Structure 1
Amino acid sequence: MQSELKLRIASGLVLAAIALGATWAGGSAFQLLSVAIGLLVYYEWSTITRLAERDFQGNAIGWVSQGILAVLVLFDHMPLTLPVFAGCVAVAILWVAIRKTSFWLPGGIAYAGLTSISLAAVRGADYLGLVATLFVFAVVWGTDIFAYFVGRAVGGPKLAPAISPGKTWSGAIGGTICGILAGTAVFLAHFSLQDLRIPLIALVLSVSSQVGDLFESFVKRRFGVKDSSRLIPGHGGVMDRVDGLIFACVAALVLVLGQILFSGGRESAFGAFLLGP
């Protein structure tokens, strides 16, 4: 086994242990993980897009925005966090429009901000949040792993050759099927399956995760970089590892947005949504 592969496996195991440990603990531990991921994502985004070089003051606005959102996520005030997030993005758009600088600034604030917000919102602080987070992990990881292996084994037409030449339709379909099966299996380990709601939700999350993967590939190709950073030995950057997870969690957030905005509880709205009426 090559040393690079050993390093990749070791790093992957450490990352999985941290993610699952924080998920099991919930509360402050998972909120800290969510915030850390969001801040690192903004760091990588601003580095890739060269925001500091293009617009130093605008990039400072981005960091202040991420700091404010991080504090709100840590204090578990989701109904307030979402309007503040919208305000931060609006301020960045106004800044860019006035100064005629790069729209990658509000894009980065939105992308990184939604990372920490959606992760924390899915987990919540209750048992349903634990199940919901494991459900999302299962869908995303199942999709990612099997899309790679099915794509390599079957091959065929490319999914988006201009963005990510290695991805195929066979891999996308195989990954989606396995993501649905993995997510449904996690749900069945805790609750009974009454209808097709859970497989359909898993389908939405699986497709969203693959769109997230393609989106990050588009950003990197646009700026001519291979990895988002070198923060993770053998893996590249944080964005390289959580691109699909970000979009899947954002999709989960969208499904229950109204419930989050009009409730002050710390329970996982997505967990309750999975369980159904």
Structure 2
Amino acid sequence: MKVVQPSFTPEPAKPRRNADLALRLWSSLVLIPVSLLGAWWGGPAAYALAAIVAAIVFAEWATIVGRSPSIWPSNAETALGTAFVVLAALLAGLYGVVIGLCVMIAGALVALALSRSFWLALGSLYAGLLGVSLAALRADPAYGLTAIVVLLVVVWGTDSIAYFAGRGIGGPKLWPRVSPKKTWSGSIGGLIGGVALALIAPVLLGVPVGWKLVALLVGLSLVSQIGDLVESALKRLFDKKDSSTIIPGHGGMMDRVDGLIFAGAAAMLVGWAHAGPAEIGRGMLLW
């Protein structure tokens, strides 16, 4: 008598979400203290840290758009582009935001002339804005540290709470063609949680909180989410999953600071318009 064995189809392996989450947490335990230590230290050390991060972002951008085979500069256009990005951040901190922005624009023009690539020139501006804005905010002698801390908290809080809210609540996708994993629940949760966390920092640091500061933090949270979507759109356009693999659980530096680039630039412009180029931090915080 023939015995018929029941058919059995093994379940597909579940994604290693817990492993990925553990990597993200361990990476954050390194990145957050380093960032806060650099912000607290101030001066050339803080500007140098901003310059290094901006240089890595430019190198990753160059690999995404196909102008470099790796994040190490491999030709004249990426080497000079990196040098200009670093110089722009350092000069913005040491000699003022106007000089930093001029060097940043000069670097983009040099990249365009050497490479004939609009995308590489745009990457020079993208990375340069990160370094210049962080250095210019921190250079404020009275409110630079507080401004940087508030900016970091609203961006990190928005990103982290959006991640957990999106995973926990789920629901309709925010923009599936660009970023299939992002949801409206994550975006709204990140906005509310990021602003709430960011309001704690000025209270602890002795900065008065009014409705204008709250409105600014709401704007920075939204802008940081736009920055995240812009980077996702760029990677999708060039068919890349991550900007690099240098940060376990996060991908590349761009994947970690995409929201900070947009939020930092917005904070710099608002602070500059409100209080002038020498007190950008005060202009961001005091209303």
TM-score, structure 2 length as denominator? 0.83
Matched, 1:184 2:192: no
**Displacement, 1:206?**
0.1
Superposition pairs for residues 76-115 of structure 1, below 5 Å? 76-93=95-112, 95=113, 101-115=116-130
Aligned 8 A contact 1:183 1:199 in 2? no
Paired residue secondary structure (2:247): coil
Aligned to 2:147: 132
Aligned to 1:62: 81
Which amino acid in the other structure matches residue 214 of structure 2? Answer: P
Q: 1:205 to 1:2 in 2, by over 3 A?
A: closer
Aligned to 1:241: 256
Aligned to 1:270: 281
Q: Can you list the C-alpha shifts for 1:105-162, whole angstroms capped at 9, x where unaligned?
A: 1111101111100111122253411111111111111111111122222222211111
Paired residue secondary structure (1:182): helix
Paired residue secondary structure (1:166): strand
Aligned 8 A contact 1:256 1:270 in 2? yes
Give structure 2 stretches of 5+ with no counterpart: 1-16
Rounded Cα–Cα distance in structure 2 between residues aligned with 1:172 and 1:251: 19
Q: Can you list the C-alpha shifts for 1:158-205, whole angstroms capped at 9, x where unaligned?
A: 111111011111111111111111111211223364530111000110
Which amino acid in the other structure matches residue 80 of structure 1? Answer: I
Paired residue secondary structure (1:256): helix
Aligned to 1:50: 66
Paired residue secondary structure (1:167): strand
Aligned 8 A contact 1:131 1:271 in 2? no
**Displacement, 1:77?**
3.3
Rounded Cα–Cα distance in structure 1 between residues aligned with 2:51 and 2:62: 16
Rounded Cα–Cα distance in structure 2 between residues aligned with 1:65 and 1:209: 25
Rounded Cα–Cα distance in structure 2 between residues aligned with 1:23 and 1:68: 19
Paired residue secondary structure (2:180): strand
Aligned to 2:48: 32
Give structure 1 stretches of 5+ with no counterpart: none
**Displacement, 1:60?**
4.8
Count residues in correspondence: 267
Q: 1:88 to 1:3 in 2, by over 3 A?
A: closer
Name whichever structure is richer in helix by fraction: 1
Which amino acid in the other structure matches residue 82 of structure 1? Answer: L
Rounded Cα–Cα distance in structure 2 between residues aligned with 1:141 and 1:67: 24
Aligned to 1:251: 266
Aligned to 1:10: 26
CA RMSD, 1 decimal:
2.5
For residue 221 of structure 2, the aligned residue among 173, 195, 206 is 206
Which amino acid in the other structure matches residue 53 of structure 2? Answer: I
Q: 1:255 to 1:151 in 2, by over 3 A?
A: same
Structure whose alpha-carbon radius of gyration is higher: 2
Identity %: 40
Superposition pairs for residues 220-235 of structure 1, below 5 Å? 220-235=235-250
TM-score, structure 1 length as denominator? 0.86
Q: 1:163 to 1:116 in 2, by over 3 A?
A: same
RCO higher in structure (CA 8 A, sep ≥6) = 1
